Amino acid sequence: MRFSINPSSVEPVYAQIARQAREAVARGTLRPGDQLPTVRELALELVINPNTIAAAYREMERAGLVRTLRGRGTFIAVIQAPASPAERRRQLQKHVEALLTEATHLGLSEEEILDAVRTVARKYRLREEKNDE
């Protein structure tokens, strides 16, 4: 997986890296056990301070997305979904509310929002179908 950054984005660089990793895991581009580049390798590739990469990796580790094994590297962790359906629904509801807040500020209609969700959902379904083959 290749990371890219947008230095003019309002999103901090470390957050851009963490977001891209989360998206790659959700899409299946990164899978549990896959190793991420070392802090130094990624800092050289992106031409940014290694401390920024380290901050991204720390954030991902706190979120349970990666595991760092001292002397071996940083690896995508096995994601453990909350056990209860009620907790999963509660977490999803929180994310949907954040999405709708942003979409409302962008002036999008309900149909535009649903269209965007359907478009992205199709991309994820394609990945699932490929994995089933």
Q: Report the C-alpha gap between 67 and 47 in whole angstroms.
A: 24
For residues 59-72, one letter each, b for 16 or more C-beta atoms within 10 angstroms of the residue's C-beta and e for the rest, the string is bbeeeebbbbeeee
Q: Is 77 a residue whose pLDDT tops 60?
A: yes
Q: What is the pLDDT of residue 57?
A: 97
Smallest CA-to-CA distance from 25 within 65, 72, 55 is with 65
Name residue 68's beta-bridge partners. 74
Q: Report the C-alpha gap between 125 and 119 in whole angstroms.
A: 10
Among 37-41, 76-80, 105-109, where is mean pLDDT lowest? 76-80
Smallest CA-to-CA distance from 77 within 39, 33, 26 is with 33
